[in-house]
């Protein structure tokens, strides 16, 4: 039944694409846009780490050195410390200072895909998957790649002391993942002048094995242990940390675990133009590509850590 429906959807969309009617072409494009956006939100891990903020055109500011669109966000304003004073004296003046950081917007897009609709009729699967899925996955991979690359640039080499934090935030744990080493790793972000709690954890999906074993061993003799032994580790939270795993092993190597603080400390992610498909039809050839415009800034290095375990 599902295959029959997919074929019918494909044929319907194909008829709209083949039509000379601009309104039908536009409707087909909208179908593809809607499909692309849904899959993209589910496929990227960046939006799970920093929830996208709404775009506000009034916050765009010009720059002297570039035409690249930019927004400014504010850090928490400095506050005075309390101090004892002698009787009969007045407190000294304190002038609060605020700092700002930029979110620069980039346009990213896929390659242009050209398909002959006559050849497309030989396929028995949903046309939207052919035209949408792969291009959306390309956008997702690029966004996640750029985010992880920025994290690595901030954290620096393994065990290197960061001058703006005063300690290493890319730490070699010299141990495999266990409950003990996992809990110890939570101190990487705690043990700074900022004392930020980590609340998210990102690793590649091969580490699900470690948590599967851990949970069974730590909960021996309980119904939960038996349940995990048969069904596997499916917990979204472990030791107070939201667990996130990715199949993108080229971005995150086995043994690497990225830790993040609350997004109010971490930075901002603004989605200006959501993933959108651009389509042009000429005769029986349909050309299309997908693009998006967004900006992400990691504003606080103390809200980010990389702990390396023995794989």
Tell me the CATH number at 131.
3.90.1690
Residue 71 within any structural domain of the chain? no
Token pair 């990213």 is found at 108
10 found inside a domain: yes
Domain membership of residue 43 (yes or no) is yes
Q: Is residue 178 part of a domain?
A: yes
Residue 128 lies in a domain: yes
pLDDT in single tens digits along all 311 residues of the chain: 444 544 455 455 555 555 556 665 565 555 555 544 444 344 788 988 998 888 888 888 888 888 889 988 887 766 566 666 666 666 666 566 678 888 999 898 988 888 887 877 776 666 666 667 777 778 888 889 999 999 999 999 999 999 988 999 999 999 999 889 999 999 999 999 999 999 999 999 899 888 888 777 776 766 666 666 666 666 688 888 999 999 888 899 999 999 999 988 999 999 998 888 888 888 888 888 889 999 999 998 899 999 999 98
How many domains in the chain? 1
Q: Is residue 88 part of a domain?
A: no
Q: Distance (Å, rounded) from C-alpha 274 to C-alpha 116?
A: 27
């Amino acid at each position: 039944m599902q295959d029959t429906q997919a074929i019918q959807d494909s044929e319907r969309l194909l008829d709209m694409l083949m039509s000379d009617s601009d309104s039908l072409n536009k409707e087909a494009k909208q179908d593809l846009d809607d499909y692309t956006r849904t899959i993209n939100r589910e496929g990227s891990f960046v939006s799970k780490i920093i929830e996208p903020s709404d775009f506000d055109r009034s916050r765009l500011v010009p720059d002297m050195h570039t035409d690249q669109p930019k927004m400014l966000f504010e850090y928490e304003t400095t506050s005075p410390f309390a101090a004892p004073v002698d009787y009969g004296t007045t407190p000294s003046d304190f002038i609060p200072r605020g700092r700002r950081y930029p979110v620069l917007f980039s346009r990213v897009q896929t390659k242009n895909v050209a398909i002959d609709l006559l050849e497309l009729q030989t396929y028995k699967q949903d046309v939207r998957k052919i035209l949408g899925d792969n291009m959306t996955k390309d956008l997702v991979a690029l966004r996640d790649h750029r985010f992880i690359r920025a994290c690595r640039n901030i954290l620096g080499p393994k065990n290197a002391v960061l001058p703006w934090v005063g300690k290493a935030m890319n730490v070699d744990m010299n141990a495999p993942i266990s409950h003990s080493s996992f809990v110890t790793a939570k101190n990487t972000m705690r043990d700074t002048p900022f004392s930020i709690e980590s609340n998210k954890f990102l690793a590649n999906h091969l580490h699900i094995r470690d948590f599967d074993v851990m949970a069974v061993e730590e909960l021996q003799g309980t119904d939960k242990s038996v349940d995990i032994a048969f069904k596997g580790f499916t917990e979204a939270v472990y030791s107070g940390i939201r667990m996130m795993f990715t199949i993108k092993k080229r971005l995150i190597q086995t043994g690497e675990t990225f830790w993040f603080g609350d997004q109010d400390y971490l930075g901002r992610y603004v989605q200006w133009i959501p993933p959108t498909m651009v389509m042009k039809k000429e005769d029986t050839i349909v050309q299309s590509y997908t693009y998006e415009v967004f900006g992400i800034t990691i504003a606080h290095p103390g809200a980010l850590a990389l702990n390396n375990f023995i794989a």
